[in-house]
Amino acid sequence: MAISPERRARDSGETWRRRGAILLFVGPFFALFAAVIVAPLAYAVYLSLFSEKSSGLGFGGAETVFVGLGNYLDTLKDQAFTDGFLVILGYCVFYIPLMIGGALALALLLDSGLARFGKFFQAALFMPHIVPGVIAGLIWLYLYLPGISPIVDLLGDVNFLGGDNVLGAVVNIALWEWVGYNMIIYFAALQAIPAEVVEAARMDGAGPVRIAWSVKLPMIRAAVVTTVLFTIIGSLQLFTEPTVLDNVSDGIVSTWTPNMYAYNQAFGNNDIGQAGAASIILALLAAVLSYVVTKWGNRR
């Protein structure tokens, strides 16, 4: 059956109106995404390809020279940069299991109905996440300082900011900030589980622990994978908390994490090119880890 020209023109106009409506809604997002994500990344890539070199005998100032991948090679060969990833690895080994496990345990407890005043505890546990990272670092800095902190005096002058102890101090601050946030995500996912599924497991003789392990946790796996992904990316970007503790801790240096290394290169050594290279390497690593965690989650 042939379609009349009038019908074809009307369908074409409807298609263009539909596309225009879609563009109207998604256009602002892509414009903002391009402005705050794509453009800065592209500019960082551009900066990473150049370096400031002294001209003449050092009396003629400096000039910008194209070095290609030179900054990337220098960054990867710098032990201060690579050692930062060892710190991140140690941080993740302690932080991720404690954060995920603690948030899951709290969410399951609240979902079970055993905890009284559930709404109050949800709000109380989420409250630390509202506090900015700098303020959280300052609060815990006070609680870590000997002679000032009631906690240190109670525990017998434990030096939380010395040597290897500082990693635990940073992990503790991060847990205080993020456990409640992830607990809310898990609790919302648990609330979405159909009641008849839990009731069927209960009628089959499963107890509360068995239901939590074999029914609830598998059904919120997507939420767990998502939070693990965000936690890994956030760990790579670790900066605020150790920077706050830097001035009073002998276990933290200005290049303690890769993010701190990039900041120090840019504003401490005034080497924008190498700072850009470090930032791009960090972004690429975050992208690769995101892909790996996502593929693993989908496979599971």
What is the DSSP annotation of 215-283?
IIHHHTHHHHHHHHHHHHHHHHT--HHHHHHTTT-TT--TTSSHHHHHHHHHHTS--HHHHHHHHHHHH
Asked whether residue 166 carries a pLDDT value surpassing 60, the answer given is yes
Secondary structure (3-state) at 193 = coil
Residues 220-231: what's their mean pLDDT? 90
Burial 122-146 (b: 16+ CB within 10 A, else e): beebbebbeeeeeebbeebbebbee
Share of the chain above pLDDT 90, in %: 42
pLDDT of residue 2: 53
Least confident of 14-18, 116-120, 213-217: 14-18
* CB-based contact 249:161 (threshold 8 Å): yes
The pLDDT tens digits of the residues spanning 51-62 come to 887 665 555 567
pLDDT of residue 263: 93
What is the DSSP annotation of 63-74?
EEEE-TTHHHHH
Asked whether residue 93 carries a pLDDT value surpassing 90, the answer given is yes
Least confident of 5-9, 62-66, 262-266: 5-9
Residues 85-100: what's their mean pLDDT? 94
Q: Which residue's entry shows tokens 């090679």? A: 73
Query: Can you tell me the distance from the alpha carbon of 263 to that of 246, in angstroms, rounded to the nearest whole number?
Result: 14
Asked whether residue 179 carries a pLDDT value surpassing 70, the answer given is yes
Asked whether residue 77 carries a pLDDT value surpassing 90, the answer given is yes
Tokens of 52: 């400031």
- Residue 257: which pLDDT band, with cuts at 50, 70 and 90? very high
Residues 55-74: what's their mean pLDDT? 77
Helix H or strand E encompassing 295: helix 272-299
Asked whether residue 131 carries a pLDDT value surpassing 80, the answer given is yes
Residues 9-23: what's their mean pLDDT? 71
- Residue 7: which pLDDT band, with cuts at 50, 70 and 90? low
The correct CATH number of 70-299 out of 1.10.238.10, 2.60.120.10, 2.40.50.100, 1.10.3720.10 is 1.10.3720.10
Residues 228-254: what's their mean pLDDT? 88
pLDDT of residue 11: 56
* CB-based contact 178:91 (threshold 8 Å): no
More confident residue, 3 or 141: 141
pLDDT of residue 276: 93
pLDDT of residue 13: 61
Query: Average pLDDT of the chain?
Result: 86
* H helices present in 118-220, as ranges: 118-130, 133-144, 150-155, 165-191, 195-203, 208-211, 217-219
* Highest mean pLDDT: which range of 2-6, 90-94, 292-296: 90-94
More confident residue, 265 or 148: 265
Domain ranges of the chain: 5-66, 70-299
